[in-house]
Amino acid sequence: MSIDLKRQFNFDFIDGIRAVAMVCIVAEHCITAYDFDPQKDIISYFTYFSIIQFTKFGTIIFFLVAGFLMGDKFEKYSPAQYYKRRLTTIAVPWLFWTCIYILGLWITMRWTSKYYYNNRIILEEIEKIFLYSNYWFVINYLFSIGILLIFRSKLYDYRFGGILAFFTFFYALNVHFEWIPSNHTTAVLGFIFFVWMGAQFRKHWWYIEKKLYRISYLPLLGLTLCFAVLGIMESSALYGIKGNPFNTLRISNILFSLSVFLLLLRMRPVGIVKFLQPRRMTYGIYLTHYLLIVFLLPRLILYFNISVYDLKYWQLVVYTCCVLIYIYGLSFFIVYLIGNTKARTLVGIKK
């Protein structure tokens, strides 16, 4: 189980991968937050599906990165110490911003929904926040690393990995058959495998690194594009028939996300995203961006009299890029301001 810690490891490129993943998560949330009619024409249809698919790898990559970084920490801390640190740095800021979300929701409903506002509706909306908004990730993440801490001795056991892969595969099939609720945000056992896989990448990194550098970019790009096309086709087949056609745990999207991860490991994005300060800013952006999408973006759309539903395909591309820059930039600014105060821990920045 031991990892060779004598070899110095530079985490800069992992931070770069994290930054790329976060940008894509924000982009995905920007385009899926409001209704758009993709069936107006074939070009609009595939533009909409393509934008979502090409930004859909972020969640799985965050679980892979979590596992990648976990291995070293297991050598330094006991399971209890490690989990306590995670709760302090991740769960506390998460709880604060979910409370801000609930407060904003309550105020909004009091102002705009006076005729049907009641406590039952508020409770239903709170359930949606924890299970179906972006805040589901932290619950699932803490559960995933908790399971791996319990089975710490099996972290590098491939039989244990096979069991975890079985659960992931079950959820991937469930997207189509819907034996149980199929939303990926409630797939509590569906993402542990990716954390486990990330730990394997870290343990065998020196071997993987050598192999990756023998592969040119073209095959990796080709493989990624093929899986992206499969992802678009799978979403198209599910659209209008199943509950969540853009489920993260679709088989095609799992393959797409893994191929993107390999491509990013090969590229080692550092300089191009260094100005985004990924190690310092990424978690805070995750915590704040969805609030801006839910509470601020509708006012902006109303001010500019934009009907997202009626956008043409090229307008949808422009809209997504503009909103992404606006939401990501404003989130970055908010986290930057808070990060330079004593309240920096509320955006996940260590003292």
**pLDDT tens sequence across 226-265:** 999 999 999 999 998 877 899 999 999 999 999 999 999 9
Mean pLDDT of the chain: 89
Is a pLDDT exceeding 60 seen at residue 218?
Answer: yes
Listed residue (218, 212, 216, 171) closest to 191, CA to CA:
171
**What pLDDT is stored for residue 10 in this prediction?**
61
> For residue 52, how far is the Cα from the chain centroid?
13
The answer to whether residue 3 sits within a structural domain is no
What average pLDDT does this structure show over 93-115? 83
Looking at residue 65, its amino acid is V
Domain containing 261 equals 12-347
Q: Is residue 116 over pLDDT 60?
A: no
In the DSSP assignment, the letter for residue 180 is S
| Contact between 345 and 92 (Cβ < 8 Å) | yes
Taking the C-alpha atoms of residue 99 and residue 49, their distance in angstroms, rounded to an integer, is 33
Evaluate whether residue 308 is within a structural domain.
yes
Tell me, yes or no, whether 285 lies in a domain.
yes
Structure tokens at 192: 């542990």
What CA–CA distance (Å, rounded) separates 1 from 318? Answer: 49
How much is the pLDDT for 130? 85
pLDDT of 3 over the 70 cut: no
Average pLDDT (321-340) is 96
Q: How far apart are CA 263 and CA 260, in angstroms?
A: 5
> Model-level pTM?
0.92
CB of 173 within 8 A of CB of 238? Answer: no
**4 pLDDT above the threshold of 80:** no
* 74, 155 Cβ separation under 8 angstroms: yes
pLDDT score, position 287: 96
Q: Of 268 and 149, which is predicted with more confidence?
A: 149
Beta carbons within 8 Å of 199's beta carbon, 6+ residues apart: 67, 68, 70, 71, 148, 155, 156
Q: Is the pLDDT of residue 298 over 60?
A: yes
Confidence band, pLDDT 50/70/90 cuts, at residue 13: confident
Is residue 7 one of the residues assigned to a domain? no
In a domain, residue 4? The reply is: no
Q: What percent of the chain has pLDDT over 90?
A: 61
Could you give the CA distance from residue 270 to residue 273 in angstroms, rounded to a whole number? 6
Could you tell me if residue 217 is inside a domain? Answer: yes
Residue 105 to residue 114: CA distance in whole angstroms = 13
Buried b (16+ CB within 10 A) or exposed e, 195-206: bbbbbbbbbebe
Among 2-6, 124-128, 291-295, name the most confident range: 291-295
Q: Rounded to a whole number, what is the distance in angstroms from the first to the last CA of the chain? A: 32
Residue 150: its H or E element: helix 136-150
Count the domains in the chain: 1
Question: Residue 1 falls within a domain, yes or no?
Answer: no
Strand (E) or helix (H) holding 225? helix 217-238
Lookup: tokens for 209: 């690194």
Span 135-190, pLDDT tens digits: 999 999 999 999 999 999 899 999 999 999 999 999 999 999 999 988 888 898 99
